[in-house]
Amino acid sequence: MTSIDSGLRQFDPLSPQRPSTGRRAPEPRSREPLSRRRTIGPRWPASAAFVIGAALCVVLAACGGGKPAGAGASVSGAPASPSSVGDTLTVAAQAPATSINPGTVDTAFILYTALAYEPLIYRDSDGNLQPALASAWKYVGTGNTQLDLTIRQGVRFTDGTDVTPQAVQKSLEYMKSAGGNQAQALASIQSIVVAGQTVSIKLSQPNPMLPDMLTQSYGIGQVIGPKGLANPKSLNLTSVTDGAGAYVYDPSASVAGDHYVYTANPGYYDKARQHYKKVVIRVIANPQAALNAVTTKQVDVVVGDFTTVKQAKSAGLQIAQVAFVWDGLNLIDRDGTVSKPLGDVRVRQAINYGIDRQAVTSALLGQYGVATSQVSVQGSDGYSADAASRYPYDPAKAKSLLAAAGYPNGIDLPVLSVHFAGLDTMTGALTAQLAKVGIRLDVTTVSDANSYIGGVTGRQYPVVAVGYGAQPMYLMGQGLFLPAAKVFNGFGTKSPELSKLYTDAAAADATARPALNEKIQDYLVDNAWFAPVAFTPVFYYARTDLGGLKVGAKAPVTSALDWYDTK
């Protein structure tokens, strides 16, 4: 998956209840014409995945295996005990909705569909998979090529029809053909067969992550009712939604680009999970303005960053943080197509030895960054303890490797960077450091998404600055390092050894898979496909009386808010 969270560090807005304060959360108001109001820019398409994640994507992105939470994961400012049902939950989003159709929505905007469309499986903030429209699921046989789902009975869509296995089948078939940025996850489906209450999904290739892909984090797992499927064009921001979720979008109370209102679904099948009468998503593009809004109780929860966390602490807000997005360099021309030196693994290794990761991390991110030499955060699927110590800062080693590769006087490397999420600042720091070992970066920095993507995929720049969210290794392969990863493997580097490791891991059972995923990580690090520098944290700020803000025991997680968690 390559869900660019569009710079949007999103979260699951369907959180547990807030204690009653006796006051109604204020409705968002338009203070100036929409034409004059500031919006986020640039809009980053999902194919360009700075997976923050996705989104969070209510990101996207991904939860890890059952290991302790990654470094930098914490929560502070515990709330009061939650009460029963709150009146209104108001959340801040950094950009307006682009679609409210789960089949076509960019996963950076999943929060706009997740409220109304119940998923087959729900992933909580601990990273655990819980029943939703599917009451149970299991892989059949070996090889992870058939997943059987038992569909819950007694649930209805907002159009009044029952959620049946046949309805789920039709929804999945639509998702595969709708052209959304997650449709690729269903590309290997050979057939979807219904027998009784069971939906059997049969695949042409192993996919151990299909249950995760059918959660609320991806549009394809959110089930659309028959009325909506009969006329997909009706699934827009001017019409009510046709899902089985806890809430129903109310277009009459919403103002596109400013705020989006969802009211409680009176027919929702599990009232214990329905914690609010209304949920309002309010668009606040500026991080400082978002912090001000939660501090003054105009909104209840926002996504923050390290530039505002000190103020959030001073304001006494609840704060959750988790290291999630790795920033660094993508050494994308591994065959030496436009930069002959980069085709030599010793040169790529020299780049890694020439970076003082801890110094850069401390200088740019302070106490909130986590230095890294691999693309998986500690505690997540694919993390390798061996890879973690592979590249200590060693300028002498870097120079020696360059000389051994035939470049005793160093090399010049064109690099593409972008004014986004601090990547340009990171690139500047690395330029100064690598110059000390004779690696001279010639940096071109662009300011818009199209220029960046065009540069990455145009095979013009052998090195590109990158920010990518920690995902399970299976998903990371599709979006980051396999030949099919069109953006982040823009030169189409192929490795039979890596492909075999990936295929073996995809087909392995849950017991054997972790060790195989670590071997994938070791391959990427030993062969220096990337030069990761630091995991940057995602922060969540909430009012002190909001229940359910947490960082789970599994890392990374894409949401610190959990609508099913009532603890």
Phi, psi of 449 (to 5 degrees): -65, -45
Tell me, what amino acid is at 438? G
Decide: 531 and 329 in contact? Cβ < 8 Å. Answer: yes
Q: What is the pLDDT along the chain (567 residues), one digit of tens a residue?
A: 333 232 223 333 333 333 333 333 333 333 332 222 222 222 233 333 333 233 222 222 222 222 323 444 566 665 544 444 578 999 998 888 888 999 988 777 888 999 999 999 998 877 789 999 999 999 999 999 999 999 999 999 999 999 999 999 999 999 999 887 777 778 889 999 999 999 999 999 999 999 999 998 888 999 999 999 999 999 999 999 999 999 999 999 999 999 999 999 999 999 988 888 999 999 998 889 999 999 999 999 998 877 788 899 999 998 888 777 899 999 999 999 999 999 999 999 999 999 999 999 999 988 888 999 999 988 888 999 999 999 999 999 999 999 999 999 999 999 999 887 788 899 999 999 999 999 999 999 998 777 888 888 889 999 999 988 878 899 899 889 999 888 899 999 999 999 999 999 999 999 999 999 999 999 999 999 999 999 988 788 998 888 767 665 554 455 556 655 532
pLDDT for res 551: 63
pLDDT for res 192: 97
Q: What is the DSSP letter of 167?
A: H
Decide: 134 and 149 in contact? Cβ < 8 Å. Answer: yes
pLDDT for res 82: 44
Tell me, what amino acid is at 287? P
Strands 463-469 and 318-330: antiparallel
CA distance 465 to 532: 10
CA distance 91 to 279: 8
Decide: 53 and 3 in contact? Cβ < 8 Å. Answer: yes
Interacting residues of 185 by C-beta distance below 8 A, sequence separation 6+: 1, 207, 210, 213, 218, 220
Please confirm whether the linkage preceding 79 is cis (ω < 30° from 0).
no
CA distance 387 to 407: 26
pLDDT for res 544: 84
Number of other CB atoms surrounding residue 159 within 10 Å: 17
Tell me, what amino acid is at 542? A
Q: What is the DSSP letter of 545?
A: T
CA dihedral of 480, 486, 489, 493, whole degrees rounded to 10: 120
CA distance 91 to 294: 9
Tell me, what amino acid is at 334? R
Please confirm whether the linkage preceding 119 is cis (ω < 30° from 0).
no
Interacting residues of 432 by C-beta distance below 8 A, sequence separation 6+: none
What is the model's pTM?
0.78
CA nearest neighbour of 532 among 342, 339, 379, 324: 324
* Burial class of 515 by CB neighbour count within 10 A (0 to 12, 13 to 18, 19+): exposed
Q: Is the dihedral of CA 441, 444, 447, 450 positive or negative?
A: negative
Q: What is the DSSP letter of 477?
A: I
End-to-end CA distance of the chain: 31
Tell me, what amino acid is at 25? A
